Amino acid sequence: MVFQNKLVLMEMMAKKGVRILTNAKVKEITADSVTYVSADGQDVTIPAACVVSVFGYKTYNPLESIAKELCPEVHVVGSAVKAGNAMTATKEGYEAGLAV
């Protein structure tokens, strides 16, 4: 997320009393609560009127090895190299295109 947007969003959430949990695996969402497994492996149930799930980025590159078997020149860009954002991936793709 662009830093300026993140800063504003975090301030807004703090003012509204939004509780942020990281490293939590959601097990169940009901009409008035959420149950999750905490980072230390404990099941925790808390009251919740609204639940927002946010998932981080993770590198994903299942095709590079196959492409390298079939093509003499392979350029890997974007989240296949490092989790990032669309602007970074677009720049890397542009640069790879120029290199061909």
Torsion of CA 17, 23, 47, 11, to 10 degrees: 10
Q: What is the pLDDT of residue 1?
A: 66
Can you tell me the distance from the alpha carbon of 26 to that of 33, in angstroms, rounded to the nearest whole number? 11
- 78 exposure class (CB count in 10 Å sphere: 0-12, 13-18, 19+): buried
Q: Can you say whether residue 79 is alpha, beta or left, with left for phi > 0 and alpha for psi between -120 and 50 degrees?
A: alpha
Can you tell me the distance from the alpha carbon of 5 to that of 44, in angstroms, rounded to the nearest whole number? 31
> What stretches in the chain show pLDDT beneath 50?
none
The three-state secondary structure class of 82 is coil
Q: What is the pLDDT of residue 34?
A: 93
pTM over 0.75: no
Give the pLDDT confidence of 44-55 residue by residue, as tens digits: 999 998 887 777
- H helix runs in 1-100, sequence order: 3-15, 64-70, 86-99
Amino acid letter, residue 19: R
